[in-house]
């Protein structure tokens, strides 16, 4: 039986013929493999076709933040450790990154962080209730540099509409990229979403809660300026 489209989600998101990622094989260290085996059953949530209950998942009622594509999880773990009053769900498809973040969860004893290994659009559509998220983080998504690949970029109007619908009023959508043409596209797309308003005249100052990762530091050394975009859900 085929799921019927939700009325508040654009039909183009349901169709979604083009994915924004390509699954690549990656080697994992023994620590990552051990974390995946031992901590995966405790911290990786299975995909489900109905909205999850964060209070039941985390055992408390707290603001919930979704991160899409956390890479190796450096920033995710730093933010979760610094904001113990907030619960975090990280969405990632690459096993090596999941193993790396699970390792950090174990090392830092982070009980306010869970992982979903699944396509982010399907997670948003099925597992995240409308008007429920305090924030969404999209840090350094693949810029897909070549023009013929721009259709693969994650930040596109249909997804932004879906993201906005999952934020609670006043919730924040925070994107960051070190690729200027992608930043320009992000700013253009986010600015025309009727449910979102920019918190800055253009690009935002880097919020204190977003740590400087090794990836970002390397980019800065190479002269790649990082641009943050922080938009607020209106109503």
Which residues are catalytically annotated?
Answer: 142
Is residue 74 within 8 Å of residue 97, measured between CB atoms? no
CB atoms within 10 A of CB 101: 29
Please tell me the distance from the alpha carbon of residue 107 to that of residue 193, in angstroms, as a whole number.
40
HEC profile for the chain?
CCCCCCCCCCHHHHHCCCCCCCCCCCCCCHHHHHHHHHHHHHHEECCCCCCCCHHHHHCCCCCEEEEECCCCCHHHHHHHHHCCCCEEEEECCCHHHHHHHHHHHHHHCCCCEEEECCCHHHHHHHHCCCCCEEEEEEECCCCCCCHHHHHHCCCCHHHHHHHHHHEEEEEEEEEEECCHHHHHHHHHHHHCCCCEEECCCCCECCCCCCCCCHHHHHHHHCCCCCEEEEEEECC
């Amino acid at each position: 039986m085929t799921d019927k489209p939700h009325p508040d989600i654009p039909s183009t998101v349901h169709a979604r013929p083009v994915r924004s990622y390509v699954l690549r094989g990656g080697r994992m260290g023994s620590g990552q493999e051990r974390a995946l085996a031992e901590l995966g059953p405790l911290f990786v949530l299975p995909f489900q076709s109905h909205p999850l209950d964060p209070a039941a998942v985390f055992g408390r009622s707290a603001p919930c933040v979704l991160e899409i594509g956390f890479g190796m999880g450096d920033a995710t773990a730093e933010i979760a450790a610094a904001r113990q009053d907030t619960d975090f769900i990280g969405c990632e498809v690459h096993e090596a990154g999941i193993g790396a973040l699970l390792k950090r969860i174990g090392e830092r004893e982070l009980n306010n962080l869970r992982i979903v290994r699944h396509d982010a659009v399907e997670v948003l559509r099925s597992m995240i209730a409308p008007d429920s998220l305090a924030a969404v983080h999209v840090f350094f998504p693949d810029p897909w540099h070549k023009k013929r690949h721009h259709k693969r970029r994650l930040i596109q109007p249909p997804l932004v509409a879906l993201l906005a619908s999952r934020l609670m009023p006043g919730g924040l959508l925070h994107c960051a990229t070190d690729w200027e043409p992608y930043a320009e596209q992000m700013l253009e797309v986010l600015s025309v979403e009727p449910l979102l308003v920019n918190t800055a005249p253009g690009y935002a100052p880097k919020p204190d809660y977003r740590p400087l990762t090794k990836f970002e530091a390397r980019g800065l050394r190479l002269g790649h300026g990082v641009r943050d975009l922080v938009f607020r859900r209106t109503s």
